[in-house]
Chains A and B, each alone.
Chain A
């Protein structure tokens, strides 16, 4: 506790000091000049645009993730220059006689007019930053990548980035640098998401119409973020634009509609988007009674409001609700997420600002079933209420100081099943199986500092997260010995509100970059990460049954150390970017299950888990083109990933499920003409590790397999090509625009193994049978906007 107070006290002193700096009275009357920088053609926000005051003290700033900037300047004439990569630089004369808020539309350079922005950040900026292992992609790119059933999917694009692999065919889950899917933190407007799958992972919960861009941190995670070992996927919701507009799409299995606009000028903007699958609408036409009575669909709704209260205060509200519904006859399951996030951005000055976030996430599933005699309901729920306070202070262009505090309270109800009914004899029965509720409370203080040296050729970034994790009652505590045997079969009842166990953790972060030449930089980074929540699921594919639990006396926090280094370059007038990154990641207390664990409504889960260490290492090569008619990226990743866990594989080292040494991703976009755009991607990955038997014996008229080593074999290599063609229809100069998108998933019909099972021939010989999910899957979508 002493440590906690000391940290808090130091941070308070730092905060007060900065407040004093920020509120220093000016010698001259000053006003606030704020604004937003947007694309003149599409109305998209431009993040990272440079806004520079040309005269006077050469003041400058960058637009934030919402395209906004704030400058506090002396009263008088201001000459402003706004520049952004691939856009025409603009100059504006402004008479600053009061606080003003302006809207700036930048025009894309003429040769670039029909191209696409592959990444949402300029090449030059990426080159200089001390951050590495980061990928930013905007919604426009996400929309262009051909996908399954034509359903645009953010997570499927993530899986095509270097160092990232899909957990399995069609899955929303992904591995980052040898980590497991639960080691990826996924944030939507800072709200933590625990299950991002629709329809068992074939689609994600992210509607591309409601997403502005996303950033994937593959290991060098900024100090303001944490909570998972391997990566952070930060998904930024889209803001509504000033002009009222509607866009939508009608596809083979789903349709979507989005509307956006503003009221009171640009002071309040809004965006509402929704989509629904409708394959089930046709099921009543089926002759088969079972199919006729089947329900299978999902929907999701997004809402976003931005309110510019005044020049220094902005309020953002994000809402999400989505639900999947599967049912057949009297049985079915519903599951989904609800998310609410409210953000308040306050600019103390053009160099010091604050962001206050309050978030709430709920994920639940609900099975219901009934027969003549009984009804049953099985529910599970995860709730996460979070608050974070981020401060950023830029005392000089070469110096950025960030600090803040985050707090998350997590409620986990892993499972509660209730069966009720009346027997033939008239006896009322009630069966109640309730797994203990588990609760975690995570509080984090952090700071980070960025320095630029040598005329901004070198950048150093360092930071520290200081965590305290608490288990909070009510719950039943199961303690295990070193052999995972329970000390007490019935556990210990913990009363409500009892903070009965805590953990402290330190997560240092360090990054350095050096610009060797204007086009080449070298970087290195170190990050330690801690994870206090753990996924208890076999599934690698987005099962709705996923159960999360927090750390406890029997479940230590997982931790990792990652070091990475790389060379980054821009080529041919920055049209191309190339990079090579090397990484090594060590994992401690990494979690796996004993053989044949009992995870189904089993409260004493501590007895089923095993803990050990792991390591991953590899190299990522990337070449991408950002400008021109042909854009996209090609990446090759070589990586290995292993685990060593006592109690698993006889304590010997074994391949982790993500150990797939070779991975190639080719993603290309080509503007054939003003009306025609084509996209193509090709993915290759070494086969997924699999455990095969090497011996067998008879028991109960069955051949029982005998295994010698976990994951010592591999499935066949995975590869797939997808293609799409977008045809813009009608008069392109009118407000009403529409287009047709034709896409083909798995163009050459590769039968990629999804599962392998053992079969017996009539001759008594065993053989292997693979299950594959998809052959060639064509789809067509009509999109419109006005």
Chain B
């Protein structure tokens, strides 16, 4: 399936590049400002550490204001009150690890509309089980050659039924996937490879002498660099939220894009955002020496 989606993406790029000699330019077109809405985002990981819940408010889209964090009266996680670490930031203790298969309830009390009464918001998530990343290799995209561009192949055993995966990339222990567009999400449920051993080529990270970041910057790569992939098994609501957020952050074109829409969250009470969980497992690979890929100076 991943190959198929990869091919699809390639063909789309090909047709856009080949068939459409489009040009771009900024335009002046400003939408109205909406009333502020409460945003609650929080994730739980099986990796021990601080688990964070963030509470904020939306701001007008066209402007320079940054979303403002807001303090709540109380934030509870399964009857444990979270600690306010900074304005709008609530954390567990330093070594909290979500337990696979367990369901967590997040509850927030806050007077968002400033009417003197607290409103109640809640969400639940069930932590998925870890899938062990059994292999991680680099493969050339050009048939019959050992040369750049490479693609990372992540191998692991899928379990039957619905599974939702994400993957984050580190380069020499520095997180590359620190934004949604550099993060990878995928689902496996009713397709024929469900329950089988999977080797995914990850198209988000085509390895050449440099990675081109989505904001136009580049990240130079060298032979001997260590690439680490964190395979994340995502809860369904978190996967859905990440996937839709990626769609919204990608460019839209009439040929292939649907209408824009709000990212679907799971917070009750009308707040935006998501409360999700994921289980993690990592593996690393070293970039080989090959023509086109320089040695680190």
Contact = CB atoms under 8 A, between A and B. Distances in A.
A296 B20 CA distance: 12
Contacts of A296: 18-19
A431 B3 contact: yes
Interface stretch (A402-410, A703-711, A724-732): A703-711
Q: Size range of the interface on A?
A: 35 or more
A704 B40 CA distance: 13
B284 interface: no
A769 interface: yes
Contact of B258 (A538, A694, A770): A538
Interface stretch (A548-556, A560-568, A594-602): A594-602
Contact of B1 (A326, A433, A596, A756): A433
Interface stretch (A15-23, A43-51, A55-63, A370-378): A370-378
Given A367-B7, A374-B3, A433-B191, A698 B67 contact: yes
Contact of A695 (B7, B18, B24, B36): B36
A702 B63 contact: no
Contact of B192 (A431, A708, A754): A431
Contacts of A433: 1, 4, 191-192
A490 B192 CA distance: 13
B58 A331 contact: no
A116 B193 CA distance: 62
Contacts of B201: 371
A704 B263 contact: yes
B102 interface: no
Interface string A161-191: 0000001100100000000000000000000
A711 B260 CA distance: 9
A579 interface: no
Given A705-B61, A757-B251, A372 B258 contact: no
Count chain A CB atoms within 10 A of each CB in B11, B22, B32 and give the residue with the most. Answer: B11
Contacts of A367: 7-8, 11
Interface string A325-337: 0101111110000
Contact of B262 (A601, A707, A768): A707
A367 B10 CA distance: 11
Interface stretch (A70-78, A120-128, A759-767): A759-767
A369 B7 contact: yes
B29 A713 contact: yes
A702 B245 CA distance: 9
Contacts of A600: 5, 8
A764 B33 CA distance: 17
A597 B258 contact: yes
Interface centre among B7, B36, B139, B274 (most CB of A within 10 A): B7
A432 B273 CA distance: 36
Contacts of A328: 10, 14, 18
Contacts of B142: 329
B3 A371 contact: yes
B58 A706 contact: yes
B143 interface: yes
A694 B60 contact: yes
Contact of A371 (B23, B63, B143): B143
Contacts of A431: 1, 3-4, 191-193
Contacts of A711: 259
Interface stretch (A210-218, A222-230, A416-424, A511-519): A416-424
Contacts of A199: 19
A9 interface: no
A601 B259 contact: no
A630 interface: no
B74 to A, nearest CB: 22
Interface in B56-90: 56-64, 66-67
Nearest to B240: A596
B41 interface: yes
Contacts of B297: none
Contacts of B59: 695-697
A707 B260 contact: yes
B257 A697 contact: no
A419 B200 CA distance: 12
Contacts of B181: 702
Contacts of A371: 3, 139, 141, 143, 151, 201
Contacts of A369: 3, 6-7, 10
Interface string A685-718: 0000001111111111111111110110101100
Given A369-B7, A541-B254, A713-B29, A694 B61 contact: yes
Contact of B60 (A372, A601, A695, A771): A695
B98 interface: no
Given A698-B67, A699-B41, A754-B254, A424 B62 contact: no
Nearest to B261: A595
Contacts of B178: 700-701
A710 B259 contact: yes
Nearest to B35: A695
A539 interface: yes
Contact of A763 (B29, B39, B64, B247): B64
A604 B187 CA distance: 15
B249 interface: yes
B19 A372 contact: no
A595 B257 contact: no
Contact of A378 (B4, B192, B247): B4
Looking at A294, A374, A699, A751, the one whose CB has the most chain B CB atoms below 10 A away is A699
Given A376-B7, A431-B1, A702-B181, A596 B139 contact: no
B19 A200 contact: yes
B261 A702 contact: no
Contacts of A754: 22, 253-254
Nearest to A597: B258
B178 to A, nearest CB: 6
A372 B15 CA distance: 23
B179 A702 contact: yes
A370 B10 CA distance: 12
A739 to B, nearest CB: 29
A772 interface: yes
A281 interface: no
A706 B14 contact: no
B26 interface: yes
A202 interface: yes
Interface in B224-257: 242-245, 247-249, 251-257
A700 B183 contact: yes
Contacts of B94: none
Contacts of A540: 254
A773 interface: yes
B190 interface: yes
Given A328-B18, A699-B41, 13 more contacts: A200-B15, A200-B20, A326-B11, A331-B7, A378-B8, A601-B1, A694-B61, A695-B37, A716-B27, A754-B22, A768-B27, A770-B25, A775-B23
8 contacts: A328-B18, A373-B199, A376-B4, A429-B199, A702-B179, A706-B37, A710-B260, A772-B22
Enumerate the 3 nearest inter-chain pairs by beta-carbon distance, A residue then B residue, closest first.
A595-B261, A694-B34, A695-B58
Interface of B: 1, 3-8, 10-11, 14-15, 18-29, 31-34, 36-37, 39, 41, 54, 56-64, 66-67, 137, 139-144, 151, 178-181, 183, 190-193, 199, 201, 215, 242-245, 247-249, 251-264, 272-274
